[in-house]
Amino acid sequence: MAAFISLQSCSDNDDNDPVLPHNVEVAEISAGGSISVTPSSDVKAGETVVLSATVDEKWSFGGWSVTTTGENSTNVEVDDPMAVQASFIMPDSPVKVDAKFYAPGAEYGLTTVKVPAGTRMLGAEPAEPSYYKDEKLHEVTISSDFYMSAYETTNAQFADFLNANKIGEDGKGVWNGTDTELFVYDSSIRDNGKFNFGVNWNDNKWIPVTGLENHPVIYVSWYGAAAYAAWVGGNLPTEAQWEYACRGGQTEQLPFGIGDGTKMVKGMAQFYIYDYYDLALGGRKVDETIEGYVSSTYPVGQFDANGYGLYDMHG
């Protein structure tokens, strides 16, 4: 007599062996925007989770990151990781969702700071020592916050721009889609190379002068500056924005926007230090015995920032 043994497997839908749901942890975003996920709790493996990002004005979205949680964390595939609206398939484990947001210009290596809106007097009092006739005192309202690069544009940054836009040896580029304008001079040629502190044309590309990669770029035209600003997603500041930002949030009507606002002397900026200014001493002074002047550019950010975190606004 033969004996038969029956073998039976339990399916995933067996009531005695249910698929356990998991939660989705959403990272806290400190600046630049916000994110949300749907659904975020009791999500079963194989279910679609929808991701949504809201990006603040002037910021840009840098992509999604979805990882499983626990000791052996692994990446979870997102269908379109660089899109503000995306999705992923829930794995059989809890996950954490995060996202990157770039401050204005950050993807181009820029550090930017926010300059808050406000109203203040710009220009100078006629009684201020060394007053110029075009410094008429006037009230200006900056109606909305704006961002500025914390540092001057460096030789390395500007060379990247020139090469990415295929600017040739003549330093000329397309302006407004049709016109051709000069963007930059080769500093090894301009003024017979006397001030070779900028970018040079070498081996069919633009390169920073060796050792001066982090120095401010020089010999740039208005067109070159405006084209660079547009390339990084910004624009040149207006005259009012620039002076407002340069004053660094000071409330007094003082000559300068750094230090106590009353002087520009050695150690505060890179300038012709023999020809300095001190309000307590009557304004502009000349002292050719002062030592320590260096007749070249300095690396950006070598001196103190103003109240808004902007460097090298003087000098």
Is 276 in contact with 266 (CB distance < 8 Å)? yes
The pLDDT > 70 percentage for the chain reads 94
- Model confidence over 28-73: pLDDT tens digits? 998 889 999 999 999 999 999 999 999 998 788 999 999 999 888 8
Question: 56 in a domain, yes or no?
Answer: yes
Residues 225-243: what's their mean pLDDT? Answer: 95
Check whether 235 has a pLDDT greater than 60: yes
pLDDT value at residue 69: 92
Question: 301 in a domain, yes or no?
Answer: no
Question: 76 in a domain, yes or no?
Answer: yes
- Model confidence over 119-159: pLDDT tens digits? 999 999 999 999 988 899 999 999 999 999 999 999 999 99
Question: 88 in a domain, yes or no?
Answer: yes
Output the six-digit token pair for 205: 């590309």
Q: What is the dihedral of CA 244, 248, 250, 255, to 10 degrees?
A: -70
Output the six-digit token pair for 257: 């926007």
Count Cβ neighbours within 10 Å for each residue of 226-247 and write b for 16 or more, e otherwise.
Answer: bbbbeebbbeebeeebebbbbb
Instruction: Say how many domains are in the chain.
Output: 1
Question: 47 in a domain, yes or no?
Answer: yes
Euclidean distance between CA atoms 62 and 81, whole angstroms: 9
Sign, CA dihedral 69-74-80-83, equals positive
Question: 38 in a domain, yes or no?
Answer: yes
**Structural domain range at position 46:** 24-102
Check whether 11 has a pLDDT greater than 80: no
* Nearest to 309, CA basis, from 148, 128, 117, 168: 148
- Supply the pTM of this predicted model: 0.76
Check whether 1 has a pLDDT greater than 60: no
- Model confidence over 277-308: pLDDT tens digits? 999 999 999 999 999 999 999 999 999 999 99
Question: 45 in a domain, yes or no?
Answer: yes
pLDDT value at residue 18: 60
CATH of the domain at 62: 2.60.40
Contact partners, residue 83, CB within 8 Å, separation at least 6: none
